Amino acid sequence: MPPPPLIAFAHVGKSFADGRGAQPVRAVDDVSLEVAAGEFLAIVGGSGSGKTTLLRLANRLIDADEGTITVEGEDISSVDPIQLRRRIGYVFQSGGLFPHISVAGNIGITPKLQGTPAPEIAARVDELLDLVRLDRALYRDRFPHELSGGQRQRVGVARALAAKPRIVLMDEPFGALDPLTRDALGDDFRDLHRKLGLTTVMITHDMTEAILLADRIAVMRAGRLLAQGTPAQLAGSGDAYVSELLRTPRRQAERLNVLLPRDGAA
């Protein structure tokens, strides 16, 4: 028998009141999705398709209207949200760092809230800076505004890992970065995912990034889960929207093959 999934959504729905008296927005609509232990899942979809809402439902930043979500086998509706969030690392789109707290303070914030003694926090911060490949001496005492976008995201990843979670949720973590930094950070995170035995769910707009980093991809549109599977399974899904999403990486790969000679072949 396969091991039970680490995260499971079963017929999950979430609507938001419009606020102007119009119909509520159906942000997530009857989504059933399982994430296995050790898996790297990407959620891909256009703006407003419900990706962030689905992610935030998993750590109870918001609560579902319908359906059941289990994390490590527990129905999260009966788990204290603060405890739950300490078991799940969360990386925000633009780092989400506290601007008036140093890099070390940002990374150590969860252990501090958990009452970890200061020397242990300091050691953990150094370990995490090494893990995300930021020079301790240079970056430990800087403030977020003294960092590049890529460095901020590295700190965001370190902070998400501080309480040693098994699960990491990432909301478009590399979206705002230049392509080289994005590539380097994606590769580094993929290595961390493997080395630490994490289970990762990452939102991205970019199908190419999803194909390159994730084991499996879930495609959302208008709150619904349209398709899920490995890139090869998606390619065979036959869904017109999924085919459209796959067209760009495919065309780019073909064009690059023609235009860009391999090293030494020019």
Ligand X SMILES: Nc1ncnc2c1ncn2[C@@H]1O[C@H](COP(=O)(O)OP(=O)(O)OP(=O)(O)O)[C@@H](O)[C@H]1O
Are 157 and 96 in contact, with CB atoms under 8 Å apart? no
158: nearest Cα among 132, 120, 182: 132
Among 31, 44, 50, 170, binds ligand X (CB under 6 A): 50
Among 16, 114, 178, 252, binds ligand X (CB under 6 A): 16
Q: For the packed helices 179-195 and 149-161, what is the interaxial angle rounded to 10 degrees?
A: 20
Position 25 contacts ligand X (CB under 6 A): yes
Q: Min. distance of Cβ 44 from ligand X in angstroms?
A: 10
Position 48 contacts ligand X (CB under 6 A): yes
Question: How many helices and strands in the chain, by DSSP H and E?
Answer: 11, 10
Among 9, 51, 59, 207, binds ligand X (CB under 6 A): 51
Among 39, 42, 45, 217, binds ligand X (CB under 6 A): 45
Position 222 contacts ligand X (CB under 6 A): no
- Window 132-171: residues binding ligand X (CB under 6 A): none
Q: Label the pairing between strands 40-45 and 199-204.
A: parallel
Are 223 and 215 in contact, with CB atoms under 8 Å apart? no
Position 27 contacts ligand X (CB under 6 A): yes
Query: Is 38 or 48 the residue whose CB approaches ligand X more closely?
Result: 48
Q: Min. distance of Cβ 262 from ligand X in angstroms?
A: 35
Q: Order of strands, edge to edge, in the sheet holding 7-16?
A: 25-35, 7-16, 66-71, 74-75
Q: Min. distance of Cβ 227 from ligand X in angstroms?
A: 16
Q: Label the pairing between strands 25-35 and 7-16.
A: antiparallel
- Choose one: 2-10, 47-55, 69-77, 127-135; the region binding ligand X (CB under 6 A): 47-55
- Choose one: 5-13, 48-56, 73-81, 108-116; the region binding ligand X (CB under 6 A): 48-56
Query: Is 25 or 37 the residue whose CB approaches ligand X more closely?
Result: 25
- 247 sits in the region (left: phi over 0; alpha: psi -120 to 50; else beta) called alpha
DSSP state of 158: H
x-or-dash pattern for ligand X, window 54-83, by CB under 6 A? ------------------------------
Q: Min. distance of Cβ 185 from ligand X in angstroms?
A: 19
Please count the residues of this chain forming the interface with ligand X, following the rule CB under 6 A.
11
Q: Min. distance of Cβ 222 from ligand X in angstroms?
A: 9
Radius of gyration of the chain (CA): 19
Site residues (vs ligand X, CB under 6 A): 16, 25, 27, 45, 47-53
